[in-house]
A and B are shown apart, each in its own frame.
Chain A
Amino acid sequence: TQLLEQSPQFLSIQEGENLTVYCNSSSVFSSLQWYRQEPGEGPVLLVTVVTGGEVKKLKRLTFQFGDARKDSSLHITAAQPGDTGLYLCAGAGNQGGKLIFGQGTELSVKP
């Protein structure tokens, strides 16, 4: 059974601080997707990483896929209150579009 362990589960920081969210598994994924979700809404796709060692940047967000395609990280620089939300990592296997989600990281950025 493929599992994704996401940490930390909760994070409360001040505006301007940096943070990193980790997503780890013992399984290899063909791709890994990061989403951000607001309460009562569907997850919004932030980025997809496919190649081992790949690094993608989206403004102040940096996403990295592990060399072995088993883990990923999301780093936010100079967090802002607008970054508040639930961040989810999701891995896709080779056999289809089934996404395995981590438990999520609830981020709160205080002004």
Chain B
Amino acid sequence: DAGVTQSPTHLIKTRGQHVTLRCSPISGHKSVSWYQQVLGQGPQFIFQYYEKEERGRGNFPDRFSARQFPNYSSELNVNALLLGDSALYLCASSLTGTGVSEQYFGPGTRLTVT
């Protein structure tokens, strides 16, 4: 079975542009979470979606938005990019999205903002 997939793998954008990152969860998983990982730190929670509804939001500005589609895939959108948005963006899928539901991560999208 395929694991969590993310696209694109790498992306270079200019300040002020917007970006859309995509994630497909493990088959049968209904919850998708997004994390941002800056070099040298642990991942920081951005959003969680379950059954197409937002279940949680981290401490990120409104420039960050996401959605989940009927097939449980998800998109993360970031508007008005800043240099500080350069990071590895990780998507994780889980069966139910509860606190005891294990999360499996994709390979990430490396975003560089110049």
| Residue contact A33 to B102, C-beta cutoff 8 Å | yes
Q: How many residues of B contact A (CB 8 A)?
A: 32
* CA A101 to CA B98, docked complex, whole Å: 16
Chain A: number of interface residues, binned into ranges:
20 to 34
| Residue contact B56 to A98, C-beta cutoff 8 Å | yes
Other-chain contact of B41, A94, A99, A104 (Cβ < 8 Å):
A104
Other-chain contact of B108, A42, A92, A100 (Cβ < 8 Å):
A42
Interface: A88 (CB within 8 A): yes
| Residue contact B103 to A45, C-beta cutoff 8 Å | yes
* CA A99 to CA B105, docked complex, whole Å: 12
Q: Which residues of B contact A42 (CB under 8 A)?
A: 4, 90, 105-108
* A97-B99 contact in complex given A43-B90, A88-B42, A103-B42, C-beta closer than 8 Å: yes
For B90, the closest partner residue in chain A by CB is A42
| Residue contact B103 to A96, C-beta cutoff 8 Å | no
* A30-B105 contact in complex given A98-B58, A101-B43, A104-B41, C-beta closer than 8 Å: no
* CA A48 to CA B1, docked complex, whole Å: 21
Known: A41-B107, A95-B56. 14 other contacts (CB 8 A): A29-B99, A30-B100, A31-B99, A35-B105, A42-B90, A42-B106, A96-B56, A96-B97, A97-B33, A97-B98, A100-B45, A101-B35, A102-B42, A104-B41
Top 7 closest A-B pairs, CB basis?
A101-B42, A30-B99, A42-B105, A92-B99, A97-B97, A31-B100, A98-B45
